[in-house]
Amino acid sequence: MYQLINGFEFAKEERRKLKEEIDKMEKKPVLAVILVGENPASQIYVRNKEKACEEVGIKSRVYRIKECLQVELLAIIDQLNKDEDVDGILVQLPLPEGMEEQTVIQAIDPNKDVDGFHPVNLGKLMLGLEGPVACTPKGCLKLIKSVKENLTGLNALVIGRSNIVGKPMAQLLLKENCTVTIAHSKTVNLPELCKQADIVVAAVGKPKFVQKEWVKDGAIVIDVGINRLEDGKLCGDVDFENVAEKCFAITPVPKGVGPMTIAMLLENTLYLHKK
Ligand code: GUN
């Protein structure tokens, strides 16, 4: 029987611990969140981040901007960089068409980069130096380590090479002494690669992409995907119903990685506040 990794409960316990620590603080951490445009999924994510901040005692300042020029966004970021009350700055992605993601990310002070997306912080991660680490991969690693403490020597397959998830995830697993493979849309023989993997992190954005036949017996499978099916239901990048029985442990969707991402955002905000 497989172990179901309950990210929802795990995240709840993380938030409880964070709240306990923040309750003792006289000066509360402050997170600035900027949402540009009207992407419905982003609106929900930002609302959830706002609610989570409130729950643990982090002050959130949310900037909801329907429409603006890139220079205007950069000016807001610049102000927040200079504002000594602000510990963390998050610009919700994706940005509206016409804005340059890297220009915007690089405008954020690396010391306030709560997402860990700035090249300085991605560079630190690569070098094994301390710094804010991207929330989703950080949460995934915590979930993996909740079922297996020592990952040394294990084969890990990360499916997806995004800057937000795949690349930092691979670095984190490398730091844990895994033998890491990154697969992507041009990868040849993905099923065979997957069959070798003791740990699979799926972050491709394709519903039920990872098949039962691909998965090694006793693998740990982490599903980062949040896909909406035609019937309105959410499903992950893993064919959970069929894959689960082969696993040592697996995360569900929803209530898997998603809640952990938000918990890690809170943790990163507190981390930057203390620094
Ligand atoms: N869009 C999807 N995931 C994320 C995230 O972790 N941070 C930000 N800023 N935008 C996102």
* Chain segment 111-137, per-residue pLDDT in tens: 999 999 999 999 999 999 999 999 999
Q: What is the pLDDT of residue 186?
A: 97
The pLDDT-based confidence of 43 (bands split at 50, 70, 90) is very high
In the three-class reduction of DSSP (H, G, I as helix; E, B as strand; rest coil), residue 155 is classed as strand
Q: Name, in order, each residue with C-beta under 8 angstroms of 127's C-beta and a sequence gap of 6 or more.
A: none
Average pLDDT over residues 218-224: 98
> If you measure from the C-alpha of residue 265 to the centroid of ligand 1, how many angstroms do you get, rounded to a whole number?
10
How far apart are the C-alpha atoms of 117 and 127, rounded to whole Å? 15
- Nearest Cα to Cα of residue 156 among 143, 169, 137, 147: 169
Q: What is the DSSP letter of 29?
A: P
Within its chain, how far is the Cα of 235 from the centroid?
A: 17
Q: Which helix (H) or strand (E) holds 180?
A: strand 179-183
The pLDDT-based confidence of 248 (bands split at 50, 70, 90) is very high
Q: Which helix (H) or strand (E) holds 183?
A: strand 179-183
* Average pLDDT over the chain, rounded to an integer: 97
- Global pTM reads 0.97
Q: What is the pLDDT of residue 60?
A: 98
Residue with tokens 């019937």: 231
Average pLDDT over residues 153-174: 98
Residues lining ligand 1, judged by CB closer than 6 Å?
90-93, 115, 135-136, 164, 261
Average pLDDT over residues 71-75: 98
* Spatial contact of 81 and 108, defined as CB atoms under 8 Å apart: yes
Q: What is the pLDDT of residue 148?
A: 98
Active-site residues: which are they?
49, 92, 115
Q: What is the pLDDT of residue 191?
A: 98
Residue with tokens 């493979």: 181
Q: What is the pLDDT of residue 105?
A: 98
pLDDT in tens, 14-34: 999 999 999 999 999 999 999
Pocket test for ligand 1, best of 45, 121, 135, 167 (most atoms within 8 A of CB): 45
Q: Are strands 227-228 and 219-223 parallel, antiparallel or unpaired?
A: unpaired
Average pLDDT over residues 48-73: 98
How far apart are the C-alpha atoms of 237 and 219, rounded to whole Å? 16
Please return the burial class of 186, using the count of CB atoms within 10 Å of its CB with bins 0-12, 13-18 and 19+.
exposed
Pocket test for ligand 1, best of 34, 93, 122, 268 (most atoms within 8 A of CB): 93
Average pLDDT over residues 237-243: 98
CA distances from 77 to 43, 91, 142, 149, 264 (A): 19, 9, 30, 39, 22
- Nearest Cα to Cα of residue 243 among 206, 217, 205: 217
- Amino acid, res. 152: T
